[in-house]
Amino acid sequence: MSDAGGSPLVFDGVALVIGGARLLDSISFTLEPRERVAITGESGLGKSLILRLAAGLVSPSAGSIRLFGQELAALDPDARRVIRARCGLALQGGSLLAALSVEDNLRLGFGQGRVAASDRVQRRIDRMLVDFDIGHLAKRTAGALSASEQRRVELARVFVRDPELVMLDEPFERSHAAAAALEQRIHRQTVPRGRALLLATQDEALAARLADRCFALHRGRLVQQPSVESRPLAMS
């Protein structure tokens, strides 16, 4: 694969072995600026691991991963945090701090220090509270929210820092009843703004609607799927 320094994300021959089991093998793809790529497959096949690898949270056993042109394996932890700040990431399992308010959980998306208290940060937080219809929850603690409300807050936090690359793992986990509304919000936050998107989902129809290219994960390898014309969203 040729070097793609201008690409947000490049996987080149990536393999992952855990406990003697080869979970991922020869994973290669390039995510271009403004492009949206989906990885589909049943639960437990390793889709989440691909997102964790992309964010530098897991190190590959072989191959290379470049995030915004930088080889993740060559970066120290501080440098990884800096480059990860250009991404918005929502993994499965929940990541909110239960004792903090919704507003303070969104503020954590900016890290620690004075930047987290600036007027610009507050404006972004206020914007996300409106865009994800969670303004009425702003002062409530995350632990007091329903599972669906928590997921909406997690998705709002993905976008609060205005990321260049968004990585979503089963974005409607615990929020299936509100999936249509959340899909519209994700669409508005990605497509018109030209953000790159890496989506992991079991929902092939969702992948077809949100992504330009779709891969199926099969026996640890990616198989590119035929192009399917996306069904237009009914935007409110």
Residue 20 has pLDDT above 70, yes or no: yes
Domain range for 74: 9-221
Q: How far is residue 121's CA from residue 106's CA, in Å, rounded to a whole number?
A: 10
94-117 mean pLDDT: 82
Identify whether the C-beta of residue 83 lies closer than 8 Å to the C-beta of residue 67: yes
Let me know if residue 233 belongs to a domain.
no
62 within a domain of the structure (yes/no): yes
Q: What's the CA gap between 104 and 97, in Å, rounded?
A: 9
Bridge partners for 29 per DSSP: 11
CB 142 within 8 A of CB 104: no
Write out pLDDT tens, residues 107-153.
Answer: 998 875 445 568 889 999 999 999 999 999 999 999 999 999 999 99
Buried b (16+ CB within 10 A) or exposed e, 200-210: bbebeebbbbb
Q: Which residue has the higher pLDDT, 92 or 37?
A: 37
Query: Does any domain span residue 161?
Result: yes
Residue 229 within a domain: no
Mean pLDDT across 58-79 = 96
Does residue 24 lie within any of the structural domains?
Answer: yes
What sign for the dihedral angle of Cα 92, 97, 101, 106?
negative
Cβ(83)–Cβ(68) under 8 Å?
yes
* CATH number, domain containing residue 113: 3.40.50.300
The alpha-helical segments, DSSP class H, found in the chain are 47-54, 77-84, 102-107, 119-131, 147-159, 179-190, 204-210
- Count of other CB atoms within 10 angstroms of residue 38: 25
CA–CA distance from 44 to each of 18, 40, 93 (Å)? 14, 11, 14
Residue 120 located in a structural domain:
yes
Q: Is residue 190 domain-resident? A: yes
The pLDDT tens digits of the residues spanning 194-210 come to: 999 999 999 999 999 99
Q: Alpha-carbon distance 103 to 96, whole Å?
A: 11
What's the confidence (pLDDT) of residue 64? 97
Please indicate whether residue 158 or residue 113 has the higher confidence score (pLDDT).
158
Give the pair of three-digit tokens for residue 2.
Answer: 């040729």
How many structural domains does the chain have? 1
| 2 belongs to a structural domain | no
